[in-house]
Amino acid sequence: MVLSSMQDLSADNVSFTTFKLNGFYSLGEWRRFLFIPYFFILLLSTTSNCILIYLIMSQRALHSPMFVLIGVMAIVDVFIPMFSVPHMLLNFLFDWNQISLVGCLIQIFCIHFFGSYQSTLLLWMALDRFFAICRPLSYHSYMQMSNFMKFIIVPVFRNIILNVAVVSLAGKLNFCMRNEMDHCFCEHMGLVQLACGDTSFNNLFGLVSVFVILAADFVFITVSYVIIFASVMKSGKSSMKAINTCITHIIVMAFTLIFVLTAFLSYRIRNNFSVNSHTFISTMYTLIPSCFNPIIYGVRTKEIRQQFLKFFYNVKVLPH
């Protein structure tokens, strides 16, 4: 009995430092075929965002604040899938499913950190539209970097502090339950569920960070666009371009928020989601915005579409 107690005590002190990512393992041999759609989604995301970045950097007509923000969004959209999808693809093909605790924490931080800037950039775009439509005479004054920094600094520090705190709290946990996650990449709550002891504070803080970043940005964006709509309707100006831009931003933000909150809340409430369904939803909130943002802002934005066609035509007519 004494020996058994000592073994139990020793087991309690063991903390796993390596984890296995078993996302979609129930599919068996069919799991390998997931490489194809995820690879093409990654390829589409990377190619379209890189084209958008190149156009905005190379075409002087696109060197205005709004297009610079779209370019920064494209840079963020290139990075986010890179922290999860390549490892997923290797896992699908070669069963390379192991990841260290440090690697897991780094992956969580990078996905959360860059992901938080997708919504924050949409907030800054909303501010740009607000100044352009509601304060047109002072637009250039507001959008000077020295003045615009006032609106940038608070969200930047908020994102850094909250994401560092979430990852730091997770890193202090003792992981003795098991070392297998039913996921394709390290997700904060997926890791926390493997910990021993009370993790209620991690659960609460992780959820609060999502609401403080994503939900708060969505509220501010919505309020900004309500003011813009009211201003446009009151002035009687031609408003289709402004309304289309605003609605696009709201739709993108709403879909991202739905995916993220569904993935996060599914850990905390009883639901009928299968493991594969939850894994799929989680992979989508890292891929869908990165894949569709350049299409939405590239195809639906007249100035970018014109510059792309001009660039494509010039390349086509170059002598070989």
What pLDDT, in 10s, does the model give residues 27-51? 888 888 999 999 999 999 999 999 8
User: Would you give the distance in Å from CA 178 to the centre of its chain?
Assistant: 28
> What secondary structure letter does DSSP report for 267?
T
pLDDT at 2: 39
The domain segmentation of the chain, as residue ranges, is 18-302
| Residue 89 confidence (pLDDT) | 92
What pLDDT is stored for residue 9 in this prediction? 39
Q: Which residues contact 159 (CB under 8 A, 6 or more apart)?
A: 113, 116, 117, 120, 213
Positions in the chain short of pLDDT 70: 1-13, 235-246, 249, 267-273, 314-320
pLDDT at 3: 39
Q: How far is residue 108's CA from residue 224's CA, in Å, rounded to a whole number?
A: 31
SS3 content of the chain, % helix, strand, coil (to 5): 80, 5, 20
Task: Please give the CATH superfamily to which domain 18-302 belongs.
Answer: Rhodopsin 7-helix transmembrane proteins (1.20.1070.10)
Quick one: pLDDT at residue 62? 83
Q: Is residue 84 a contact partner of residue 279, using CB atoms and an 8 Å limit?
A: no
Q: What is the pTM of this model?
A: 0.84
Beta-bridge partners for 8: none
